[in-house]
Chain A
């Protein structure tokens, strides 16, 4: 054996293997897992890991997208292409359907992110899914830092942070009562930079809006908001064409762009490495609502 062969595994090798181990454990021990997939970079990496975990067999579970109806069209196109590319299948739970038939009402502020919880929980119940993969990372937010890889949800889909099971070694315990389900976060230990490094190393395709492009935007509450049907220009606002990109690709009504000229993955990594703002602080209006905004939504059954 050469010395070179015995060098320590790299961070990305360890993270990839850990995530694959988690995904395989779920497939082997749950009756009906499903993986949330939005086309966002974290869920693309998660899907890529799932494909690698079961190769040469296909991914043994389906995907689910909770579509707010306010998604960027480029992301929806990408989503469908990616599903085909990885040989997966996808179900769509549409917030718009709920609004149309009165089960949900549009909020006064127009944001639909909080409206995703009900269609998500309905889809989980209807599909009898006992495990739901999410792309959440612990570095994203304070409340997430304490969440387990296997995170229990009660029959109302609620998270109880003060009553979590201890999680030891790599022994993940997914046993639960009927009606409960488990949210599984294979990317728990990844940071934003790890995700980008992995995208570069594995040459993973992303929606084009992650890279710099010209777009009509306006500066609103300190954030660059794209001018779209969902977010029209308001009185007194100046519309500019700027070179921007998105660090997250959530609901258009509450996802802002950042000024950027990074149009390759390596430029993005350089930019992410230098950035002064955390990912959510820069681009997610909904997390600014209150100090405990994410904690509250998670308790209610959000992703």
Chain B
């Protein structure tokens, strides 16, 4: 009897147990992505008997001689009929150490917006190539998107390695090509793994047919990534969701477990998007700029002495400040200046086009602000060769799947971070005021792509007063992606990692020679 792998010793409280990692898959059509995902689910015993029955029946009906694992990720009827994937699907699997949330993103060119969607929450991108084809245009596009969205880790799965006779030379050539691409796009953490998803080589089980590869399998790589320090190590950002003022004194029986509060209780509910907070910390309330001291961090499970990125809590402040939904409680060190002129990179997600003068809503953190497009400064040309970077082309509008540089005039000042430093509070979405459609995904500040791209943009139009000056990316960037915590176990490396450190990328390529 095969068993599901999840830890069988149940968590007895919320703080004991597995960690969680979010990943997104990307690849071209026919790279075997569905098979890889099916294999991860199958080999971690995350597929149960009736789902497997379905796959076996359908495989038989199709005249296949063995179960097609790609069918495990079969979704909507239209997809089954057309044999394609339409939309991002979420899959769940687990090992005793970690739970995984996988955003399965379609590989079609016309569905690039789904890759942006999947990448927005991902800690790691699993990018596939066909060993017979190597790095292709789609690989470059997907990696550029991963770089734009600052996904901390990228793993390249060189799939169908069985179809090139498990050749080390083929793998090494692809890995070298990919390293060049990753370096030019400023992707910090990459790793390459030779895989046959159909045969199961190096997905969950180490393959004896690739003796020349001594790196981790896909699953073991995913189990061992430590990314929690990224968000926790950054400055505090706490968008206020609502003000808690319990007017009724009636306490429901369940709340007997919690501390009783008095009638003049006033707290601010929200989720910590980055950083950490402790009672006694001095904070600034944005956009107004008032200073206050954290008096307590409340939860129904009792007050906390420390809360970190990812936690939903209620913060109480010592001073009586005027705070409402949409405000951000932030660390006093380098808080974002509220701006009315927002310069950003935007991934356009809608069929309707964006033109200069358009009125949109900007949803950022817990705030919603009216805005007008003051200029469209360029559109990213994702047709580029390895070793070069994408260029900005002049554009007067943005169409579906375009990635563009725009400027927005905001109706009220927004304390927005640079996306390259704060993924959560540097991000925003554009919303259609009329019908509510989500139009675009915005990354505030300078584009995280490289110097040449920025330079090209600068030549298109004189640089306005942007939120963050276009950086001189030829010099090593501040180490914003890998903040070193001063204390605690999260700090494993004392060497700053910059995109210009060649040896770093070499070290993460697996054994390539």
Interface residues of A (CB under 8 A from B): 1-3, 5-18, 20-21, 24-25, 27-28, 48, 51-58, 84-88, 138-139, 142-143, 145-146, 161-162, 164-171, 173-177, 188-189, 191, 193-194, 196-198, 200-202, 265-266, 269-270, 273-278, 281-282, 291-292, 295
By a CB distance below 8 angstroms, the chain A residues around B12 are: 200-201
By a CB distance below 8 angstroms, the chain A residues around B7 are: 273
A166 with B4: CB separation less than 8 A? no
Residue in B6, B16, B361 whose CB lies within 8 Å of A193: B6
By a CB distance below 8 angstroms, the chain B residues around A291 are: 54, 77, 80
Residue in A173, A188, A200 whose CB lies within 8 Å of B436: A173
A12 with B488: CB separation less than 8 A? no
Residue in B116, B228, B253, B261 whose CB lies within 8 Å of A85: B253
Nearest chain-B residue to A55 (Cβ)? Answer: B300
By a CB distance below 8 angstroms, the chain B residues around A292 are: 77
B19 with A11: CB separation less than 8 A? yes
CB distance from B96 to the nearest CB of A (A): 11
Report how far A2 CA is from B101 CA in the complex, Å: 29
Residue in B90, B252, B255, B429 whose CB lies within 8 Å of A171: B429
A14 with B310: CB separation less than 8 A? yes
CB distance from A291 to the nearest CB of B (A): 7
Nearest chain-B residue to A84 (Cβ)? Answer: B253
Residue in A197, A265, A281 whose CB lies within 8 Å of B51: A281
Flag B265-280 by CB within 8 Å of A: 1 or 0 each. Answer: 1000111010000000
A9 with B19: CB separation less than 8 A? yes
Report how far A177 CA is from B431 CA in the complex, Å: 13
Chain A to chain B contacts (Cβ below 8 Å), 22 pairs? A10-B15, A10-B17, A11-B17, A14-B310, A17-B271, A21-B270, A52-B299, A54-B269, A55-B314, A84-B253, A87-B252, A87-B253, A139-B92, A142-B75, A143-B75, A143-B76, A145-B91, A161-B76, A168-B441, A170-B121, A170-B273, A175-B436
By a CB distance below 8 angstroms, the chain A residues around B258 are: 55-56
Q: When A87-B250, A168-B120 are in contact, do A52 and B300 touch as well, CB less than 8 Å?
A: yes
By a CB distance below 8 angstroms, the chain B residues around A188 are: 90
By a CB distance below 8 angstroms, the chain B residues around A142 are: 74-76
Q: When A28-B366, A168-B120, A282-B50 are in contact, do A3 and B252 touch as well, CB less than 8 Å?
A: no
Q: When A145-B75, A168-B441 are in contact, do A28 and B325 touch as well, CB less than 8 Å?
A: yes
Q: When A56-B255, A58-B248, A173-B429 are in contact, do A9 and B308 touch as well, CB less than 8 Å?
A: yes
By a CB distance below 8 angstroms, the chain B residues around A2 are: 488
Q: Does B242 lie at the interface of the complex (its beta carbon under 8 Å from any beta carbon of A)?
A: yes
By a CB distance below 8 angstroms, the chain B residues around A9 are: 19-20, 228, 308, 310-311
B435 with A177: CB separation less than 8 A? yes
Residue in B15, B114, B270 whose CB lies within 8 Å of A13: B15
A17 with B310: CB separation less than 8 A? yes
Interface set, chain B 2-22, CB cutoff 8 A to A: 2-4, 6-8, 10-20
Interface set, chain B 288-324, CB cutoff 8 A to A: 298-300, 305-306, 308, 310-312, 314
SS of B interface (majority): loop
CB distance from A199 to the nearest CB of B (A): 9
B6 with A273: CB separation less than 8 A? yes
B6 with A146: CB separation less than 8 A? no
A278 with B87: CB separation less than 8 A? no
A-B pairs with lowest CB-CB distance, top 3: A87-B252, A175-B436, A6-B488
Other than the given A12-B11, A85-B252, A87-B253, 19 more pairs (CB < 8 A) read A6-B487, A6-B489, A9-B20, A10-B19, A10-B20, A13-B311, A18-B271, A52-B300, A84-B253, A87-B250, A138-B92, A165-B437, A197-B17, A201-B10, A201-B14, A269-B8, A276-B1, A277-B48, A278-B48
CB distance from A248 to the nearest CB of B (A): 14
A167 with B117: CB separation less than 8 A? yes
A277 with B50: CB separation less than 8 A? yes
CB distance from B342 to the nearest CB of A (A): 15
CB distance from B335 to the nearest CB of A (A): 20
A281 with B248: CB separation less than 8 A? no
Report how far A291 CA is from B55 CA in the complex, Å: 11
Residue in A12, A51, A167, A281 whose CB lies within 8 Å of B17: A12
B14 with A10: CB separation less than 8 A? yes
B49 with A51: CB separation less than 8 A? no
By a CB distance below 8 angstroms, the chain B residues around A12 are: 11, 14, 17
Nearest chain-A residue to B101 (Cβ)? Answer: A189
B92 with A166: CB separation less than 8 A? no
Q: Does B285 lie at the interface of the complex (its beta carbon under 8 Å from any beta carbon of A)?
A: no
Q: When A9-B19, A188-B90, A273-B6 are in contact, do A173 and B363 touch as well, CB less than 8 Å?
A: yes
Report how far A146 CA is from B73 CA in the complex, Å: 11
A5 with B488: CB separation less than 8 A? yes
Q: Does B60 lie at the interface of the complex (its beta carbon under 8 Å from any beta carbon of A)?
A: no
Q: In the complex, which of the residues B1, B88, B432 has the most CB atoms of chain A within 10 Å of its own CB atom? A: B88
A24 with B489: CB separation less than 8 A? no
Report how far A86 CA is from B299 CA in the complex, Å: 16
Interface set, chain B 41-58, CB cutoff 8 A to A: 48-51, 54
Flag B117-138 by CB within 8 Å of A: 1 or 0 each. Answer: 1001100000000000000000
CB distance from B113 to the nearest CB of A (A): 6
Q: Does B99 lie at the interface of the complex (its beta carbon under 8 Å from any beta carbon of A)?
A: yes
CB distance from B224 to the nearest CB of A (A): 13
A197 with B310: CB separation less than 8 A? no
B117 with A168: CB separation less than 8 A? yes
Q: Does B399 lie at the interface of the complex (its beta carbon under 8 Å from any beta carbon of A)?
A: no
CB distance from A225 to the nearest CB of B (A): 18
Q: In the complex, which of the residues B14, B48, B80, B366 has the most CB atoms of chain A within 10 Å of its own CB atom? A: B14
CB distance from A43 to the nearest CB of B (A): 15
Residue in B13, B226, B242 whose CB lies within 8 Å of A24: B242
A25 with B10: CB separation less than 8 A? no
Report how far A278 CA is from B92 CA in the complex, Å: 13
B253 with A270: CB separation less than 8 A? no
By a CB distance below 8 angstroms, the chain A residues around B382 are: none
CB distance from A49 to the nearest CB of B (A): 10
By a CB distance below 8 angstroms, the chain A residues around B116 are: 166, 168
CB distance from A82 to the nearest CB of B (A): 9
By a CB distance below 8 angstroms, the chain B residues around A7 are: 489
B90 with A138: CB separation less than 8 A? yes
By a CB distance below 8 angstroms, the chain B residues around A27 are: 242
Q: When A8-B19, A138-B92 are in contact, do A176 and B436 touch as well, CB less than 8 Å?
A: yes
Nearest chain-B residue to A267 (Cβ)? Answer: B10
Residue in B48, B114, B312, B438 whose CB lies within 8 Å of A53: B312
Report how far A168 CA is from B295 CA in the complex, Å: 33
Report how far A85 CA is from B256 CA in the complex, Å: 10
Report how far A170 CA is from B267 CA in the complex, Å: 22
Q: Does B89 lie at the interface of the complex (its beta carbon under 8 Å from any beta carbon of A)?
A: yes
Q: Does B504 lie at the interface of the complex (its beta carbon under 8 Å from any beta carbon of A)?
A: no
By a CB distance below 8 angstroms, the chain A residues around B409 are: none
B242 with A10: CB separation less than 8 A? no
By a CB distance below 8 angstroms, the chain B residues around A168 are: 116-117, 120-121, 427, 429, 438, 441
Nearest chain-B residue to A7 (Cβ)? Answer: B489
Q: When A17-B310, A56-B244, A291-B54 are in contact, do A86 and B254 touch as well, CB less than 8 Å?
A: yes
Q: Does B78 lie at the interface of the complex (its beta carbon under 8 Å from any beta carbon of A)?
A: yes
